[in-house]
Amino acid sequence: MTENGSQLNENPPETLTVHSALERCVDYIGRVDIDFICALARVDKAEAFQSLKGAIYYDPEKSCFVTAEEYLSGNIMKKLAAAKSVLEQQAETAKTAGDESNTRKQMPDDWDFSENISALEVVMPPVVQPGQIKASMGSPWIPAWVYRDFIIALIGIRSASGKPKISVEYIRAANHYIIHGKKHFTDFTRAKLTYGTERMNAFEIIERMLNSREIAVYDTYIPYGKEQQVRRVNKAETLLAQERARQIAERFSFWLFRDEPRRSQLLNYYNENFCAIRPRHFDGSRMLLPGKDPNIKLQKHQLDAVKRIVHSKNILLAHQFVTVGKNSPELSDSETSSLGGIDNIDYRLFDAFDYVALGHIHKPQAMGREMVRYAGSILKYSFSEIHKDKQATILTISKNKQISLSHHLLKPLRDMREMECSLESLLKRKCEIGNEEDYMHIILTDEEQILDAIGKVRTVYPNVMQISFKNRRHMMQYETIQMKENQIADQNPMELFEQFYKMQNHIDLDEKRAQMAISIFEEVIR
């Protein structure tokens, strides 16, 4: 009987290798059970431990054996510190007992944690240096006291007590920074002139930078004949304030890692919290898959995905066109409504699964229930998607195997946009240009013929993908095409084939070939 109550036969029906027994054990009871493994492989503990060297490790934080996949993932720095602490305790215990050799007895209490340390050091993520860290104003990983010290240094604030009456508070729930005590220092030269303006002092600029808010100065006025006030951007004041923000950002980057104690403290904090995590890798190469067709050879990534699912939750990965009754998923113009030989399947076929991760469709959307969904593409692939937001769906499986979803909007470096204007307005930048690096569909409204239109547009938008025209001449062409399409639609297949034959061969279709074509059409229709 194992610890979880599983009944073991005195003589198991099959003898497995130790590694296969480990896979079977983890598949069956969800953890490493040495007694279970020994019974399946018909070996003693000493042989099992020797064979599983490097495949299992004793985790002092969980007080049990775990697989290498589990142990060599997560916060490696934390696990390394725990292993070193236990090793020191073992050495101290051995010294006290007068047993300096500390002979291994292949028991948890005598587990050689130097092997843990060696394995953890191999997979430890590399330590990053200041030049590798993105540290801009408002980076949430930077403690609030750092921003406070920077403001004190930037503005030149001094206090007789040594504790300036200024502080920076970070409200985590709202992801918002507040500078307290700034009213006492707004008249400082550096706050008002050097790093600020008459209309927006340095504290206001910094606060806006910390909260990723627009830096703009507005004038308020009442238009003639109206009563309601209107705000209008003051371009000169705004440009000056934005230049001050650029100077502050430049000073912050120079100042942040200049002081040795502060640099050391920030680097340790950053590496411990953001660079010590190693994602878990699931190796499915040793998995036992009873019932699998021996003629089907799964690729390594497929085996790894299977193992991830088996050891997490009842999850399905599918590249399939799924419908909800008569309702189909929303498509872009670059997608088809069928895959392979199956047009669609109903979402209710997935009722047994906790989560179904679907591929193929570009728009993120749920099908029937929240846990059956298309993740969607991370980028836009056609101009029919320009008004559709892209997102990353994060699936979180808790320790008690509860599933939760979170959705995070994605903002690409280069968006896909559509704009309608004349070439002159575009070149003179009279229209709203936006990001010039975006992938553009430009609709030109010019009536006159334009030579090398795309070349001229690329002087503004180097990544223009498509150009079309919207004027009287093109509207007439469009109407003509529509008329011809309607005429074609009114003709029967035989008439169309006769016209096609004559166009290709420059002779009329003879009676013999006409009868042959009619027979083919009739067979296809049947």
Nearest CA-CA partner of 191 in 244, 255, 252, 258: 244
Cα–Cα dist 250/243, whole Å: 11
Nearest CA-CA partner of 115 in 89, 145, 87, 96: 87
Report, in this order, helix, strand and coil percent for the chain, each rounded to 5. Answer: 40, 15, 40
* Structure-token match 């010039």, residue found: 436
Q: Is 287 contained in some domain?
A: no
Q: Is 356 in a helix, a strand, or coil? A: strand
Torsion of CA 257, 259, 261, 267, to 10 degrees: 0
pLDDT grade for 194, boundaries at 50, 70 and 90: very high
Q: Please, are residues 457 and 464 in contact by the beta-carbon 8 Å criterion?
A: yes
pLDDT single digits (tens) 167-186: 999 988 788 899 999 888 88
H or E element, residue 84: helix 76-96
Residue where a domain stops, chosen among 475, 491, 515: 475
- Please, what is the angle between helix 144-155 and helix 202-210, to 10°? 160
* Structure-token match 């070193």, residue found: 84
State whether the Cα torsion 4-9-10-16 is positive or negative: negative
Q: Considering the chain, what is the average pLDDT of its residues? A: 82
For the beta carbon of residue 390, count every other beta carbon within 10 angstroms: 20
Given a cut of 90, whether residue 481 has pLDDT beyond it is no
pLDDT single digits (tens) 85-140: 888 887 777 666 655 444 343 345 567 888 899 999 898 888 888 888 878 888 88
Q: Is 255 contained in some domain?
A: yes
Given a cut of 90, whether residue 242 has pLDDT beyond it is yes
**The token pair that represents 54 in the structure block:** 């490097």
- Please, what is the angle between helix 76-96 and helix 113-123, to 10°? 160
Q: Is 505 contained in some domain?
A: no
Output the pLDDT for position 9. Answer: 42
pLDDT single digits (tens) 416-470: 999 999 998 898 888 888 999 999 999 998 888 888 888 999 999 999 998 888 8
* Residue numbers of the domain that contains 441: 416-475
pLDDT single digits (tens) 382-422: 888 888 888 988 888 776 677 888 999 998 889 999 999 99
Output the pLDDT for position 5. Answer: 39
> Same domain, yes or no, for 267 and 357?
no
Q: Is 501 contained in some domain?
A: no
Output the pLDDT for position 463. Answer: 92
What's the alpha-carbon Rg for the chain, to the nearest Å? 34
> Same domain, yes or no, for 364 and 467?
no
Output the pLDDT for position 8. Answer: 45
pLDDT single digits (tens) 44-70: 988 998 899 889 999 988 888 999 988
Q: What percentage of the chain has pLDDT greater than the value 70?
A: 84
What phi-psi label fits residue 256: left (phi over 0), alpha (psi between -120 and 50 degrees) or beta? alpha
Output the pLDDT for position 139. Answer: 85
- Which has the minimum average pLDDT: 45-49, 147-151, 265-269, 343-347? 343-347
Output the pLDDT for position 491. Answer: 73
- Which has the minimum average pLDDT: 222-231, 237-246, 363-372, 500-509? 222-231
Question: What does the pLDDT average to over 372-378?
Answer: 89
**The token pair that represents 424 in the structure block:** 């002159």
pLDDT grade for 3, boundaries at 50, 70 and 90: very low
Given a cut of 60, whether residue 244 has pLDDT beyond it is yes
pTM for the structure as a whole: 0.48
Q: Is 294 contained in some domain?
A: no
Q: Is 299 contained in some domain?
A: no
Number of domains in the chain: 4
> Same domain, yes or no, for 104 and 148?
no
pLDDT grade for 507, boundaries at 50, 70 and 90: confident
Cα–Cα dist 319/363, whole Å: 14
Q: Is 523 contained in some domain?
A: no
Given a cut of 60, whether residue 492 has pLDDT beyond it is yes
Nearest CA-CA partner of 151 in 213, 202, 216: 202
* Structure-token match 């007992």, residue found: 97
> Same domain, yes or no, for 111 and 41?
yes
> Same domain, yes or no, for 152 and 262?
yes
Nearest CA-CA partner of 358 in 380, 377, 386: 377
Given a cut of 90, whether residue 195 has pLDDT beyond it is yes
**The token pair that represents 333 in the structure block:** 């113009």
Q: What percentage of the chain has pLDDT greater than the value 90?
A: 23
pLDDT single digits (tens) 283-298: 887 777 777 788 888 8
Cα–Cα dist 514/526, whole Å: 18
According to DSSP H, which parts of 112-160 are helical?
113-123, 144-155
> Same domain, yes or no, for 112 and 157?
no
Torsion angles phi and psi, residue 265, rounded to 5: -65, -45
> Which is more confident, 258 or 279?
258
Nearest CA-CA partner of 377 in 394, 397, 354, 360: 360
Residue where a domain stops, chosen among 65, 88, 123: 123
> Same domain, yes or no, for 87 and 143?
no
Pick the most confident of 22-31, 251-260, 480-489.
251-260
According to DSSP H, which parts of 300-420 are helical?
300-310
Cα–Cα dist 480/488, whole Å: 12
For the beta carbon of residue 133, count every other beta carbon within 10 angstroms: 18
CB burial string 415-424: b at 16+ within 10 A, e below:
bbbebebbbe
> Same domain, yes or no, for 65 and 159?
no
> Same domain, yes or no, for 23 and 111?
yes
Q: Is 165 in a helix, a strand, or coil? A: coil
Q: Is 484 contained in some domain?
A: no
> Same domain, yes or no, for 378 and 428?
no
> Same domain, yes or no, for 403 and 370?
yes
What phi-psi label fits residue 336: left (phi over 0), alpha (psi between -120 and 50 degrees) or beta? beta
> Same domain, yes or no, for 405 and 427?
no
pLDDT grade for 238, boundaries at 50, 70 and 90: very high
